[in-house]
Chains A and B, each alone.
Chain A
Amino acid sequence: MRSARLLPLLTFAALLLGWEALVQIQNIPPYVLPAPTRILVTLREDCALLSAALLVTLKITVLALALATSIGVALAILFAQWSWLERTFFPIAVILQVTPIIAIAPLLLIYLDADTAVLACAFLVAFFPILSNTALGLSSTDHNLRDLFDLYGASPWQQMYLLRLPSALPYFLGGLRIAGGLALIGAIAAEIAAGASGQGAGLAYRIVEAGYRLNIPRMFAALVLISVAGISIWLVLELVTNQLLKRWHDSARDLSR
């Protein structure tokens, strides 16, 4: 078990070492390729600027995720109760999903102020996996259990609350984990699109700005922070999923074991 965790860490360390060595031996200037140590130094020097930017991006991502979750789940519930609603509105959701966000962003930036547009983009990409997974989950209840609820005369809302929502939980959480990553991507893509208009202050905007100034180490530093943000979101959602499902669902492993 231990070596299974050690191996990826060692590989990663070896890669960084190789990178460092390459830059040092070949004397590559930092504006072409900064060494990992140089990136670390930049991270410390630009700490105030970059952490403020990270906070902006994270806030937008989390807010978008929260919006996508509440609206996605609410819509899925309405779709499950009234199928004509689903037939009417699901195609629109699909159209929004298949249109690349990077193509929608500039348009949104015209109609909305930069912050709202970035939020809207992050929301749009995070929304669909939650809606479609939850809708699938709500319609995948065990038919014997449904019969049981019918036998005892359960009302549609009792069925929803006591049967369909709990059985949709694993599906919803699957959608949420996908949406977490997508929300960050959506926010970053929109920030880059907004970057040109120079209003944003998120991480992606810092990357674009540092690019104009040929401040390559800062670009890398911002990139590192974006990765760290993505990994953190993923870890948190993974943890939540495990906590909620570990006692009953096969997909969740009890981490203590």
Chain B
Amino acid sequence: MSLLSLKQISKTFANGTRALGQLDLSVARGEFISLLGPSGCGKSTALRLIAGLDQTDSGSLTWNEARPDIGFVFQDPTLMPWTNVFDNVYLPLRLKGVTRTEATPKIMDVLTRVGLRDFAQSFPRELSGGMKMRASIARALVLRPALLLMDEPFAALDEITRLKLNRDLLELQAELGMTVIFVTHSVYESAYLSSRICVFSHRPGRIIESIDVGPSGPRDDAFRLTSAYLETCQRASTALQNAMERA
């Protein structure tokens, strides 16, 4: 069932930069879509347009039903440094007018899911990079959004942490029944996580190749050894190379 479709979207910034040209993308419920592409091709811009943080110039962005709650995980953890993890995660609920007492069980639930239950009272600067990212993910999940947008969330983390968070993310997606759109630079990450990989062309960005990987859902580490996974990496990598060469 379709959640959202983008048709012929283009975006030019005030300074004349054409970030997106003729972007077509249709997102079905429950999909895990990775956006892969050269730096500066408009992936972040696409996410911002979907989130409603920027306006499209032309083309149409239509939600199948009403626009659902959206969670957004930025490339930086983007936590409020002046308050603790609990209050950071409380923010989306607070802005919706939910009282603290009502919110507490929900907050503790997401914090448990991301493994930060014991750090609710810690301030962001007392956390490691990976823990900050988890807090940021917890905040994005606390409204139980139907759609989760993530902009290179794990780019700054070490390989082990990144693999662990990847696995956790797939479990969370299955548990909460979310649709995820995930921007990454890593072919391997996208091949492991996605049900579909969309490879962007060089700026102005549009999708030049769409690779179906398989049904979304939790995957164990053995998945990385399957020939299907390696083949996906190969295809994505070739598509990415083409995108860069055409620049």
Contacts and interface: CB of A to CB of B under 8 A. Distances in A.
A151 B96 contact: no
Interface residues of B, number: 21
Contacts of A94: none
A158 B95 contact: yes
B171 interface: no
B82 interface: yes
B207 interface: no
Interface stretch (A11-19, A75-83, A162-170, A204-212): A162-170
Counting chain B CB atoms within 10 Å of each CB, which of A152, A158, A169 scores highest? A152
Nearest to B96: A152
A145 B136 CA distance: 11
Nearest to A163: B80
B81 interface: yes
Nearest to A147: B53
A154 B95 contact: yes
A145 B76 CA distance: 10
Contact of A144 (B70, B76, B92): B76
Contact of A169 (B48, B53, B82): B82
Contacts of B52: 150-151
Nearest to A166: B82
Contacts of B91: 148, 152, 162
Chain A contact-residue range equals 20 to 34
A152 B95 CA distance: 7
A227 B95 CA distance: 48
Interface string B44-85: 000010011100000000000000001010101010111100
B87 to A, nearest CB: 9
Given A248-B123, A248-B125, A148 B72 contact: yes
B78 A248 contact: no
A149 B95 contact: yes
Contacts of A153: 95
B153 interface: no
A146 B85 CA distance: 18
Nearest to B81: A248
A150 B124 contact: no
A59 to B, nearest CB: 33
Interface in B129-160: none
A22 B14 CA distance: 72
B74 A150 contact: no
Contacts of A147: 48, 53, 72, 74
Given A148-B78, A162-B95, 9 more contacts: A147-B72, A147-B74, A149-B95, A150-B53, A151-B72, A162-B91, A167-B82, A248-B81, A249-B82
Interface of B: 48, 51-53, 70, 72, 74, 76, 78, 80-83, 91-92, 94-96, 123-125
16 contacts: A145-B80, A147-B53, A149-B95, A150-B52, A151-B52, A151-B53, A151-B70, A151-B72, A154-B95, A158-B95, A162-B95, A167-B82, A247-B123, A248-B81, A248-B123, A248-B124
